[in-house]
Amino acid sequence: MILEVNGATRSVTAAPDTPLLYVLRNDLGLVGSRYGCGTGRCGACFVLVEGRAMPSCDAPLWSFSGKRITTVEGLGEGGGLHPVQAALLAEQAAQCGYCISGIAVTAVALLSQNRNPSEKQVREALDRNLCRCGAHNRVVRAVMRAAAEMRG
C-alpha cells in the first residue's frame, strides 16, 4: 500500500487492516504518535489526516489510502519546530510527554482552521486529548501563545 506521510510517498507491506499507528511506529520509524487507549479516545495517537486530527490506533491502514497524513514529526517546516511545538516547549507544557504529540497535532489542526481561538475554543478542541499529569492549563497557554505568534 502507498501512503503519503509527512509529505513523502511511502510504500508499506502491512496488512490492510493493520492500525495506522502500528505502521507509523513499527514500519516507518515515526514513534512520536503513541499507543494510549487503543480505542481512539485518549488522543495520544492522533495524527493529521487531510488537516484533521484523527486517531491512528484503531483505524485500519486501508482507510488512509490516498490521504495526506502528517505526524508530529512532520509538523515543522525546513527542519524547524512548528509554532505550536515551540510554544509547548516555551510554556513547559509537557510533564511526562506521553500525550504531548497528540496535543500538538490537535492544536495545529485547530489553528489551521481558527487563527484566533478563544480559550474556551482551545479547551473544547483539546477535550479529546487526555493528560494524566494535569498540564492542561499550561497546554492551553501554549496554544494561545502559538496562535498569537502565528498571527504576527
Instruction: Tell me the pTM.
Output: 0.96
What residue segments make up the domains of the chain, in order of their start?
2-74, 83-151
| Residue range 41-90, pLDDT digits in tens | 999 999 999 999 999 999 999 999 999 999 999 999 888 999 999 999 99
**Mind listing the pLDDT tens digit for each residue in 99-125?**
999 999 999 999 999 999 999 999 999
Q: What is the CATH number of domain 83-151?
A: 1.10.150.120
CA 41 – CA 60 distance, rounded (Å): 16
First to last CA, the chain: 41
75 backbone φψ class: left, alpha, beta (φ>0; ψ -120 to 50): alpha
CATH 3.40.50.1980 assigned to domain 2-74? The reply is: no
| Best CA proximity match to 74, nearest among 100, 105, 35 | 105
Question: Which CA distances in Å does 137 have to 19, 63, 72?
Answer: 32, 34, 21
